[in-house]
């Protein structure tokens, strides 16, 4: 079960959210995961500073994975996340941080995988 949590400095319209959901659902296959298990969260209007400056368009994207993924897959996923967020929200790649976290213990439906 992958979970992608996005903190974004501005508002996201319902249309943009739908587009992000669709594009991230396709992109998750890069990490060998399926949209069937993908959970997304979009936190809007976050106060985010980068390089000591409160940026207008900036995002922190936290990708949590059950198990993990190869470094090369994460590299490809970062490029795809940056492309998606640039196209949908207009955020330049140098204003997007992407973090990957893997875990061996992931609970769902009253038990663990």
**Where does 3-108 sit in CATH, by number?**
3.30.429.10
pLDDT at 19 over 90: yes
Confidence at residue 1, expressed as pLDDT on a 0 to 100 scale: 83
Sorted by where each begins, the domain ranges of the chain are 3-108
What's the number of CA atoms in the CB half-sphere (13 Å) around residue 37?
16
Number of CB atoms found within 10 A of residue 1's CB: 17
User: What is this structure's pTM?
Assistant: 0.95
Beta-sheet pairing, 59-66 with 3-8: antiparallel
Distance CA 34, CA 25 (A): 7
Q: What is the pLDDT of residue 55?
A: 84
Per residue in 25-74, pLDDT (tens digit) is 999 999 999 999 999 999 999 999 999 999 889 999 999 999 989 999 99
- Mean of per-residue pLDDT scores for the chain: 96
């Amino acid at each position: 079960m992958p979970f992608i949590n996005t903190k974004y400095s501005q508002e996201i319209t319902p249309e943009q959210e739908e587009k992000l959901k669709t594009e991230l659902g396709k992109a998750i296959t890069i990490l060998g995961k399926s949209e069937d298990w993908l959970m997304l969260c979009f936190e809007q209007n976050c106060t985010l500073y980068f390089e000591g400056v409160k940026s207008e368009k900036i995002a922190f994207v936290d990708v949590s994975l059950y198990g993990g993924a190869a470094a090369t897959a994460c590299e490809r996923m970062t490029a795809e996340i940056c492309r998606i967020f640039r196209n949908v929200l207009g955020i330049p790649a140098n204003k997007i941080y992407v973090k990957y976290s893997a875990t061996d213990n992931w609970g769902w439906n009253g038990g663990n995988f």
